[in-house]
Structure 1
């Protein structure tokens, strides 16, 4: 079967100890049976490893931070689009999604397709809104409260039992065992990601995750559950194994059908000793471990591009159980000239 040529621009090239999803998504696209993909990388920093992975990324451009606003982002994308004729844009960071979703119609007029959650879907699954989300959709979630100051915590502290989890609105989560630790983590996360900070009741159990894709009409395109086998001090999976788990699959289908989720997602769950599943977070995009799903037989990055292009996608029904991923560090050697070129010209 002849593959269709398609140009996909994507971010998340920071393949470091807390990796972005960009490189795993690209690996999935490069293994596509449907597409011959030209990959255009979008980078924020000069030392994102993906910039220099020329076997995976064909060309990379520097882009402004999402915090700079919609206009600088669109101006840069227009320039890149003139050079590359982007057909599909895949943002891989939570912090970019709002900017890209707000720009969806303008991007479409330019000829650039996306396949993202709606603003309502994005907003209602925020960590600060999770208790309401749980009530609305009948999903168990740990008790939590958003706070805007440490003083506010002192006023609600008695509602919680230690330990608690202190979470940033986009990233970072720390387990705090006393008031002093809450103060330290509050300041640390607020300085990096802003407010609010979410305090969540710690639920003891095994951390399990699902990567999934919704078609926007209530159907699950694909879903693969896994258990983390090795977790870094930042709470990131450094190893994981695919599971056969009907309850996790049932919960995923329930959430996607009720919310009519559009695009990739990751469910972060805790299974307690009583075999109860608690939803602790919904990440509104494909996670950094998505290549495990590809290896298990569900090429979700390929499905995402197909859906963005308006193509029919048959749902995946099977995946290989017992597939294991193990991350590793790798010293990539680059020339200073390449670094200098990207630093000065903003493209490589």
Structure 2
């Protein structure tokens, strides 16, 4: 891999209050020392990653995955024809299904990915979490998927206020009464579709792990962190790497039992009495990935090597006490760049 310049396409350039992982993934790749060309794949014309100086070599607008697989693949083929892509790193849950489904077709085109299998992707959905927990001996909060707003009026015990109401792909809101839950049910179902998931709130500290599985049951990379500041959308705006052997044991166990292929994030609550509750599994690189890089594990670089079929030795060492803080930055650009994206769909 060292002898060849790689062209790597990355999605998730929406570095806003609910940031996508694309910008930190690109920062990680640039820090790796690999000889690379970065292609940004954006879904909206105001995604900041398009305009950040020195971040991407070229950007292309993509149709939303919801528009259908034909338009999506056609556009990706156009980008590939122009740029000769080696690797694509998709960073949104909502687009992963298409990339996984057409993995073989992409490979025939010469485009490599390193993603979970369709079975792995489907079984860890929020609405499948109780069954997932049973299969892999993990503790999860009481939860229930809902397809009708009337179900909120008569939730099965022991579900009780306060609880979280979660969108199919993104967003979660803590509610303490029926009016709040009905409001967020309508908001989340309109935005992300059904089902909407109700999950019991657990008192404790939110701890997360970013990890990379090689598809054979081995954990190639894993870094745990504790959230220090959480936004109203449930996003980590600050975090610190921690030493937590039990958390890493749970991560290794899940990857071993599922033979997880690709990146993932485990979101967990650690209670005061030392119990760990799994609240969510994100089947891709999380937006706080650059903290792992700062702690000594460049997960996007390792993922690229695995995508190209290279053997990657597991990395276990990382620095604890490394901290990240997000911040806003006013980016000054030129209207002509915006016009090019609007008119031509590329910049």
With normalisation by structure 2, the TM-score equals 0.98
Q: Distance in 1 between matches of 2:201 and 2:244?
A: 23
Tell me what 2:61 maps to.
62
Secondary structure of 2:91's aligned partner: coil
| 1:155 Cα deviation after fit | 3.3
1:264·1:286 contact (CA, 8 Å) conserved in 2?
Answer: yes
Q: Distance in 2 between matches of 1:119 and 1:50?
A: 29
Residue correspondence of structure 1 range 124-273 to structure 2 within 5 A: 124-273=123-272
Q: Distance in 2 between matches of 1:63 and 1:310?
A: 27
The runs of at least 4 aligned residues of structure 1 exceeding 3 Å deviation read 1-4
Residue correspondence of structure 1 range 77-116 to structure 2 within 5 A: 77-116=76-115
Q: Which runs of 5+ in 1 are unaligned?
A: none
| 1:231 Cα deviation after fit | 1.0
Q: Distance in 1 between matches of 2:252 and 2:281?
A: 14
Provide Cα deviations, 1:44-99, integer angstroms capped at 9, x if missing partner: 11100000124011100000001011111110011100100000011100000001
Q: Distance in 2 between matches of 1:317 and 1:209?
A: 16
Provide Cα deviations, 1:302-337, integer angstroms capped at 9, x if missing partner: 001111010111111100110000111001110000
| 1:32 Cα deviation after fit | 1.0
Q: Distance in 1 between matches of 2:111 and 2:31?
A: 22
Tell me what 1:292 maps to.
291
Residue correspondence of structure 1 range 45-56 to structure 2 within 5 A: 45-56=44-55
Tell me what 2:310 maps to.
311
2:142·2:158 contact (CA, 8 Å) conserved in 1?
Answer: no
| 1:157 Cα deviation after fit | 4.8
With normalisation by structure 1, the TM-score equals 0.98
Q: Distance in 1 between matches of 2:76 and 2:184?
A: 36
Larger deviation, residues 286-295 vs 227-236:
227-236
Alignment of 1:11 with 2:8, yes or no, is no
Aligned length: 347
Secondary structure of 1:4's aligned partner: coil
Assess, with a 3 A threshold, how the Cα gap between structure 1 residues 4 and 117 changes in structure 2: closer, same or farther.
Answer: same
RMSD: 1.1
1:70·1:103 contact (CA, 8 Å) conserved in 2?
Answer: no
| 1:42 Cα deviation after fit | 0.4
Secondary structure of 2:35's aligned partner: strand
Q: Distance in 2 between matches of 1:187 and 1:22?
A: 29
